[in-house]
Structure 1
Amino acid sequence: MLAVHTHTQRAQPTTVAHYLLAMVEQLERDGVRLQGAYDRTNRNPLGSCAITGTGFPIDRQATSELLGFCGPTGNTYGSIATVDYLLESTSAASVLLVGVGRFVQDLLLWCTAELDYMRLGEGYVQCSSIMPQKRNPVALEHARAIGSKALGQAMAIVTAVHNTPFGDIVDTEDDLQPLVFAMFHDATRAVKLVGAAMTTAQFDAARLEARAGDGWTTLTELADTLVRDHGLPFKSAHGIASRLIAARARDGKRPLSELLADASRDVLGSPLEYSEAQLTEILSPRHFVNVRKTPGGPAPEETARAAKASRQQLEADESWWTNATNALADAERKLADRSASL
């Protein structure tokens, strides 16, 4: 279980699985963006020459295959002038870094003593040189810093070329390409560090469940139940639930069933009768999660389905990576064999 927040305030209960799957889906979209950027970047400009190509009968497809490209670029002027292949890759990495950075921020909060939802393994925390009780989650802090550095490099790449001429210029060459490499190097470091740290994460399930219902996080389900059971407009059900918690704040000793009867009488003109046992079930965080079987929701059967789909997507991504790297290695071998035969 996990109490999640909106606008920094406790909102509704969900599960850790539901939260993590949201991050997984975002990373899957990052994978799609990066794969697309790779496919459009891995194009062979050889043969474009200075600007207009050449009068010699060259075979651009043959050189593309020997060098491991997906194929040749198109327009020869564009081949020497465009920089979107760098910017697309940089943009895809930037989106990934922003998402991972937000995720890391939540993880750091979960590691605080005040929440204490999660603990990292010993290799990813650090004791203080003065305060022996500390377990500082420094791996996540390093990942945040490295990721922020990479994001800054990405912004620098865009800034460096945003007002340059559309042609062959050094701005997009020796001064820029090392920065692109450095950005991807740091982005990779940040992502790998977060992934490694999370393999050691331990969640305090009992504490998470105990906190999941604090602050009336399940009150939406009471309003929903009133709508389902009595056909009320949601606005009326919402008003009853709001009056209920206001009355509870004034008088914490009266049974909820009595407070609900009074609140519904005020709104509807007649009371709605529920037993204490019924209200306990309706307001249970587990019940709240279990009835939310919406596709993409937190119900266990739905998160199990989503996790299975994500595992399949991971396998597909790994297959893409294997095929792409194998294609590069095969091309390198073919080039060596061709060179040796000359």
Structure 2
Amino acid sequence: MRERLKNPPAPEFVKYILKPLLEKDAKQSFKYFNNINKAHLLMLLKQGILDKNTVSKIAKALLEVDKRGPQNIDLDPAREDLSSCIEAAIMEICTQEIGGRLHTGRSRNDLGGTVTRMFMRDKYLKTCKQILELREFILNFAAPYTETVCTGYTCGQAAEPITVAYYFAAHLSALERDYERFSAIYKRLNQCPLGSCAMASTTFPINRAITAHYLGFDTATINSLDGIAARDYILEILGTLSIFMNNLSRLCQDLYVWSSVEFGLVDIDSSVSMCSSIMPQKKNPVTLEHIKAKAAHVEGDFVSALGALKSTIYTQVRDASIEAAHSMNDALDEVEASIKLLIATLDTMVINKERMLHEAKTNFCTVSELANTLVRDCGLSFRHAHSTVAGLVAYMLDNELKPNDINRAMVKKLAYEIIGKDISITDEHIRHALDPIPNVFARDVEGGPAPIQVIKQLTMMRKKLEEDKRELTNRVNMQKRAEEELNKDTQEICR
């Protein structure tokens, strides 16, 4: 294997590069290497590159190596990587004369690239399932709160009345887009580079469609140089997960603020909180803190991969093929932890309905509708109505008055002082405009917070969720069928 090189691997090279990678690959990629070996062997037989007798002997050796497991593979750093260590185990069983023929028409470059895509694909599909589970949980969580009125905020200030379900529907919209971005990666990830060989394909009459089919890929990569050079799918996965985690962090920040004593809109359960070693009154919502920080970790993993790939030559280089994927496991683990922690937090979180309604009644979030009422009932332009109500709010705050203290005399007086118009409005219309419950129900337009509109939104989101679940099921089943066919055909050629 290293006949071209005069010296054995340096101890430092072994300690920091070869040995850690061998051990890591043996743990997480042994199955993928063996499946690739099986698929490649079956293709060599079907293409007439190897004869049936040779293929049968190699297949038996492959199954024996499979049976022994990675723990019985000699991870010799002098062989440099796991594929060569597995090849040595195969040749030990069926001789180098026979087993050495398995590597016909391929290279470690396309072999490694295929392993990476298969490993990423399994992790990717698992993450897809987790994101769908989160969407489904939040859908079910939001559904009972279509009439639970609360305050909507802009720029951190009370803005307009909404409902709890409407608020979570907004986050569900973001999560739906997150999943659309993530799902779209699959067609680019699920392309098979096997057969690209070192970088310029091969002179053997291989059939890449056969190996792609056996390994559950939709197609083979179009260009062999691209097949061994491309790692942009790593950036796509990490980039879309960074956006997803960023969206989770924004939800967590809202809940974090809402759980404070000053807001008191939600209560985070003790089971996902921590106490203080010195302040006995504390119940700290730490799961939300961790999720927000984990978003930064995933973003860091994305930047790390981007930096590793930046300015690499477009071919097989280890900073692209090995180092660029270095943080992928960490990122996926952080995403899984964040999803599980958020579900656990929401599952035990209490919505303080009375406090929410009280705040909506007293924080002036309903006065936009008072301005609308002045437009409808008094014939004012919206700009005049806005000026009048803005002056009214300032007057109320200066005099420490609440929205329920507003009456027609105040409105009439201030309208005349501010815009010079004499208007007529009833106390009944003022009270109706300032009541957050009818206020929300009146926002019955597409995309609005009226319960009937939110129910429509949630229904559409549930329909899309079911479509996404079916698509994921089809993708997972395709992998299962491919592996079953691969193992069946490998067993058959051993007979």
What's the TM-score once normalised by structure 1's chain length? 0.93
**Which residue is equivalent to 2:343?**
195
What residue number does 2:171 align with?
23
Q: 2:383 aligns with which of 235, 252, 262?
A: 235
Instruction: Give structure 1 stretches of 5+ with no counterpart.
Output: none
| Corresponding position: 1:183 with 2:331 | yes
Once the two structures are superposed, residues 211-259 of structure 1 have per-residue CA deviations (whole angstroms, 9 ceiling, x without a partner) of: 0133321111111122223443211111111222233345567852111
Equivalent of 1:275, from 409, 426, 436?
Answer: 426
SS at match of 1:339: helix
* 2:295 aligned residue: 147
Contact 2:178 2:244 in 1 (8 A): yes
Contact 1:45/1:72 (CA < 8 Å) preserved in 2?
Answer: yes
Q: Does 1:105 align with 2:253?
A: yes
1:298 and 2:449 aligned? yes
Deviation at 1:127, TM superposition (A): 2.6
Are residues 251 and 185 of structure 1, via their aligned partners in 2, closer, same or farther at CA, if it must alter by over 3 Å?
closer
Q: What is the aligned counterpart of 2:281 among 115, 118, 133?
A: 133
Runs of 4+ in 1 over 4 A off after TM superposition: 250-255
Report the Cα offset of residue 300 of structure 1.
0.5
Cross-structure match for 2:73: none
Deviation per CA, 1:3-59: give whole Å up to 9, x if none: 122222222221111111110110011111111112211111111112222233222
More deviation in 74-83 or 298-307? 74-83
Say whether the 8 Å CA contact 2:153–2:160 is kept in structure 1: yes
Which piece of structure 1 moves more, 296-305 or 53-62? 53-62
- CA, structure 1 residues 122+215, in 2 after alignment: closer, same or farther (shift >3 Å)? closer
Q: Is the 8 A contact 1:38 1:89 kept in 2?
A: no
Query: Higher mean Cα deviation, 205-214 or 225-234?
Result: 225-234
5+ residue gaps, structure 2, are 1-148
Cα distance in 2, alignment partners of residues 84 and 124 from structure 1:
37
Aligned length: 342
Q: Alignment identity in percent?
A: 32
Amino acid at match of 1:48: S
RMSD: 1.9
Q: Are residues 263 and 154 of structure 1, via their aligned partners in 2, closer, same or farther at CA, if it must alter by over 3 Å?
A: same
Corresponding residue of 1:67: 215
1-structure distance, mates of 2:349, 2:443: 27
- Matched residue of 2:334: which SS? helix
1:49 aligned to which of 194, 197, 215: 197
Q: Hey, what does 1:173 align to over in structure 2?
A: 321
**2:306 aligns to what?**
158
Once the 2 structures are TM-superposed, how far is the Cα of residue 260 of structure 1 from its aligned partner? 0.9
* Secondary structure at the counterpart of residue 74 of structure 1: coil
Say if 1:265 and 1:169 are closer, same or farther in 2 by CA, change over 3 A.
same
Residue 368 of structure 2 is aligned with which of 212, 220, 223?
220
8 A contact 1:64–1:70 mirrored in 2: yes
Q: Indicate conservation of the 8 Å contact 1:143/1:193, yes or no.
A: yes
Question: CA contact under 8 A between 2:162 and 2:440: conserved in structure 1?
Answer: yes
CA deviations on 1:276-308 (whole Å, 9 max, x unpaired) are 222111111112211112211100000011111
Greater length-normalized contact order (CA 8 Å, ≥ 6 residues apart): 1
User: Is the counterpart of residue 205 in structure 1 residue 353 in structure 2?
Assistant: yes
- Larger mean CA deviation between 92-101 and 310-319 belongs to 310-319
CA contact (8 A) 2:447 2:457 kept: yes
Q: How far did residue 137 of structure 1 move?
A: 1.5
Contact 1:146/1:190, CA 8 A, preserved across alignment? yes
Could you tell me which of 256, 268, 282 is aligned with 2:407? 256
- How far off its partner does 1:323 sit? 1.9
**Secondary structure in structure 1 of the residue aligned to 2:362:** coil
Q: Is the 8 A contact 1:248 1:259 kept in 2?
A: no
Change over 3 Å in CA distance of 1:211–1:321 after alignment to 2? same
1:321 equivalenced with 2:472 (yes/no)? yes
Secondary structure of 1:116's match? coil
Q: Which amino acid aligns with 1:266?
A: E
Quick check: 2:312–2:320 contact (8 Å CA) kept in 1?
Answer: no
Match of 1:12 among 132, 138, 160: 160
- Which of 1 and 2 has greater Rg? 2
Q: Residue 178 of structure 2 contacts residue 240 of structure 2 at CA under 8 Å; is this kept in 1? A: yes
Higher mean alpha-carbon deviation, 37-46 vs 144-153, is at 144-153
For the Cα contact (< 8 Å) 2:441–2:450, is it kept in 1? Answer: yes
Q: State the partner residue of 2:232.
A: 84
